Amino acid sequence: MSHHQYASCIEACNQCAATCEHCATSCLTEANVQQMAKCIQLDRDCADMCRLAAALMARNSPFAAQVCQLCATICTACADECAKHEHDHCQECAKACRHCAEECSKMAA
């Protein structure tokens, strides 16, 4: 089976990873970084999981569906946390995470 069937999910994962990295970095420049700690942690976890999911789909791993299911869970947690913050980078991250969670859930089904 070709990895091309996962193209939209791989793209969503890669986009989400990049957006999460940007959000985490931007959170570090906010006035009260301590208030952003959970957001930063989830951004980093989400970015790592998205990259792993994309890699496993690209290589047609038999574990891709399981990893994508976990990725969807982490993306949802990250989106929920980011949505609590008014910063543009957090709102953009929440949107990217929700889209990735949808794509990963479809892929894992």
**Pairwise CA distance, residues 56 & 61, whole Å:** 5
CATH number of this structure's domain 6-108: 1.20.1270.360
Residue range 7-21, pLDDT digits in tens: 999 999 999 999 999
Above 70 in pLDDT, residue 28? yes
Residue range 30-69, pLDDT digits in tens: 998 999 999 999 999 999 999 999 999 999 999 999 999 9
With pLDDT > 70 as the criterion, what percentage of the chain qualifies? 97
Annotated domain spans of the chain: 6-108
**What pLDDT, on the 0 to 100 scale, is given for residue 45?**
98
